[in-house]
Amino acid sequence: MLDDMPVQTVDEGYVKLKTLASGISLTDVLMYEGKIPLPVPSSPVIIGHQCVGMITEVGEGVAALSRGDRVAIDPYVNCKNCTPCKENRNDECEKLFCYGIDDNGFMSDFVVVPASIAYKLPERVTDSDAVFTEHIALSINAVSKLNLENGEHIVIVGANALGIILAQVALYYQAIPILVDTDAAALAVAEELGVYYTVNSVEADPMKKIFSITGGRMADAAAFVATSHMSFGRSLDYVKVGGRVALTGWSKLSEDVTGSFSGILNKQLKVFGVNNGVRMFPSAINLLATRTINVSRLIGREVKFEEVDKAMSENAEGLDRFVKTVVKP
């Protein structure tokens, strides 16, 4: 539904941008379907937490950005007051706020945000590519928290856009990703992007394949993509005794992660969650600019604002599968 929103003022420390591109993410689709509670249930809500824009107005006290700059917006704002924030672990903030989930998001012509979450884009990063900055930032956060060492095997369960980006980030960290999914087309794209080991769990038993790829040791680590349709419990089977497992993606999914979790105890796994890429935006933009991460095959259709409703219901029916619909006003 399109709506006219009141004009927002640009306070000190804030910038106003004209939206150039945003993305329809799985979270948006789940909200559309009513599977995630809306932030402000009784009032109109603007979805979207991925945004690329051109700065049109700069509030007082903003020195690093000026009119005409093209920026990607990190949708997360940390509180700056809790213990993790004070200890410079912003991504573990106790009151992390996300635009498009906790409040109105970015799918409108203009948005006003704190300058601190707007990151300048180099010219060679296109608007559509930059929509994936958040996925890349989250992937960097997950992979660095998994402490992957050179040549370690990491099983990535779920080959949607986030899973395929996670695999590319793992390669960049010189680990060996093994991507598991049931979608042959998604796995084929990952292979084209340099992911050597993929397992189609419809055609092959992932346990056997991972056993053989790792020479019987099983994987050192696993990343489970929470927004995928795969089983979390089964992904615990793919790692070695004492292995590390990251549950990645958005956490407010109403459908619980499934499976038996006895592997956590039996194999003394280290399991943790990563739901944001706070602080990682500059690194993520750098990986896009140097073409270390290639997202061109993950861009699906480009739609206009008035087509978002239709695109949402088509996304809900699974039409776009692993590719992302990019919205351009």
User: Does 137 engage in binding with Zn ion (CB under 5 A)?
Assistant: no
Q: How far is the CB of 276 from Zn ion (least distance, A)?
A: 12
Looking at 44-52, 86-94, 127-135, 240-248, which segment touches Zn ion (CB under 5 A)?
86-94
Closer to Zn ion by Cβ: residue 20 or 98: 98
- Binding Zn ion (rule: CB under 5 A), the pick from 93, 146, 236, 299 is 93
User: Does 77 engage in binding with Zn ion (CB under 5 A)?
Assistant: no
Q: How far is the CB of 86 from Zn ion (least distance, A)?
A: 8
161-172 and 184-192 are packed helices; what angle lies between their axes, rounded to 10 degrees?
A: 30
Asked whether 160 and 186 are in contact (CB, 8 A), the reply is yes
Q: How far is the CB of 206 from Zn ion (least distance, A)?
A: 38
Instruction: Tell me how far apart the alpha carbons of residues 184 and 13 are, in angstroms, rounded to a whole number.
Output: 47
The SS3 call for residue 14 is: strand
Looking at 46-54, 70-78, 105-113, 272-280, which segment touches Zn ion (CB under 5 A)?
70-78
Looking at 34-42, 74-82, 108-116, 298-306, which segment touches Zn ion (CB under 5 A)?
74-82
Q: How far is the CB of 90 from Zn ion (least distance, A)?
A: 7
- Binding Zn ion (rule: CB under 5 A), the pick from 38, 45, 54, 79 is 79
- Geometric angle at alpha carbon 290, from 18 and 143, rounded to 5°: 95
Contacts with 43 (C-beta within 8 Å, 6 or more apart), sequence order: none
Q: Could you count the other beta carbons within 10 Å of the beta carbon of residue 289? A: 16
Closer to Zn ion by Cβ: residue 85 or 299: 85
User: Does 98 engage in binding with Zn ion (CB under 5 A)?
Assistant: no
What secondary structure letter does DSSP report for 174? T
**How many chain residues bind Zn ion (CB under 5 A)?**
5
The amino acid present at 131, given as its one-letter code, is V
Q: How far is the CB of 96 from Zn ion (least distance, A)?
A: 7
Alpha-helical (H) ranges within the chain are 26-32, 83-86, 127-130, 133-145, 161-172, 184-192, 206-213, 232-235, 262-266, 281-289, 308-316
Which residues would be at the binding site for Zn ion (CB under 5 A)?
A: 78-79, 82, 85, 93
